């Protein structure tokens, strides 16, 4: 076998995994770390279900080699809620009914989180551009857009100030 030790930092935890070179980050997360929140949709970069954050930027884990993630901070959907408390974006998705079958949701939530971390007041255009790589076949996107607007409000409100997206 042609395995190498790959050091990964996922949701703040460090892991050393013995992986073959062709193992993608998605496979490492799901099959080796048991973090099955990250979904495999198309596996070819079209649907965005496998979106995770690498150094706070959204990437496709299905087209990233685990071995290429050395030294990067990976955040998956499991890493957002702190101490059982959901983030503003997660709360907004629940309240607005932006989750139906739920398969696109982890990717959607992470793409929105990355957007709001960088641009807490996105325009409609910014928002659609940020989510163009996340396909949803249930909601028709309106509920998701509403949820983002609500998350923006929560984060910018006095109580939500300083609150993480």
Partner 1 sequence: MHLPRFKLLQPRSLNEAVEFIDRYGASARLGAGGTDLFVRMKYRVASPEYVVSLKQIPAKAPSIDENGALSVEALTTLRDVVRSDVVANRAPVLAEAAHTVASAQIRTMGTLGGNLCLETRCLYYNQSHTFQYVEPCFKRDGDRCYFVPKGKRCWAVFMGDTAPALVALDALVEVESSAGRRTMPIERLYTHDSLCPVSLSPAEIISTVVIPASGRRTGEAFVKSSPRGGLDFAIVSAAAVLEAGDDGTCSRAAVVLGSIAAMPVRASQAEALLQGKVLTRDLIQEAARTASAEIRPVMHHGHSASYLRRCVEVITEDALSLAFERLVIR
- Contacts with partner 1 by CB under 8 A lie at 2, 20-24, 27, 40, 42-46, 48, 51, 54, 57-60, 62-65, 67-68, 70, 111, 114, 128-135
Nearest distance, CB of residue 43 and partner 1, angstroms:
3
Q: Please provide residue 94's backbone torsions phi and psi, each rounded to the nearest 5 degrees.
A: -65, -50
Give whichever of 24 and 154 is closer to partner 1, judged by the CB atom: 24
Strands of 25-138 (E only): list them. 51-54, 57-60, 73-75
HSE-CB at 110 with a 13 A cutoff on CA atoms is 31
Nearest distance, CB of residue 123 and partner 1, angstroms:
14
Give whichever of 22 and 157 is closer to partner 1, judged by the CB atom: 22
d(CA 140, CA 94): 16
Nearest distance, CB of residue 124 and partner 1, angstroms:
13
CA 60, 129, 109, 55 torsion: positive or negative? Answer: positive
Give whichever of 31 and 95 is closer to partner 1, judged by the CB atom: 31
């Amino acid at each position: 076998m042609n395995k190498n030790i790959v050091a990964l930092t996922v949701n703040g935890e460090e892991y050393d995994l013995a992986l073959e070179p062709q193992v993608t980050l998605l496979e490492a997360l799901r099959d080796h770390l048991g973090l099955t929140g990250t979904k495999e949709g198309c596996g070819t970069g079209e649907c965005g279900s496998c979106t995770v954050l690498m150094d706070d930027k959204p990437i496709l884990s299905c087209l990233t080699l685990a071995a290429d993630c050395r030294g990067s901070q990976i955040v998956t959907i499991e890493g957002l809620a702190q101490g059982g408390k959901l983030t503003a974006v997660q709360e907004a998705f629940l309240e607005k009914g932006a989750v139906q079958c739920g398969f696109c949701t982890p990717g959607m939530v992470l793409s929105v989180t990355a957007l709001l971390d960088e641009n807490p007041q996105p325009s409609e255009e910014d928002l659609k551009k940020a989510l163009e790589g996340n396909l949803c076949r249930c909601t028709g996107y309106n509920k998701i857009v509403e949820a983002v607007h609500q998350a923006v409000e929560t984060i910018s409100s006095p109580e939500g100030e300083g609150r993480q997206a």
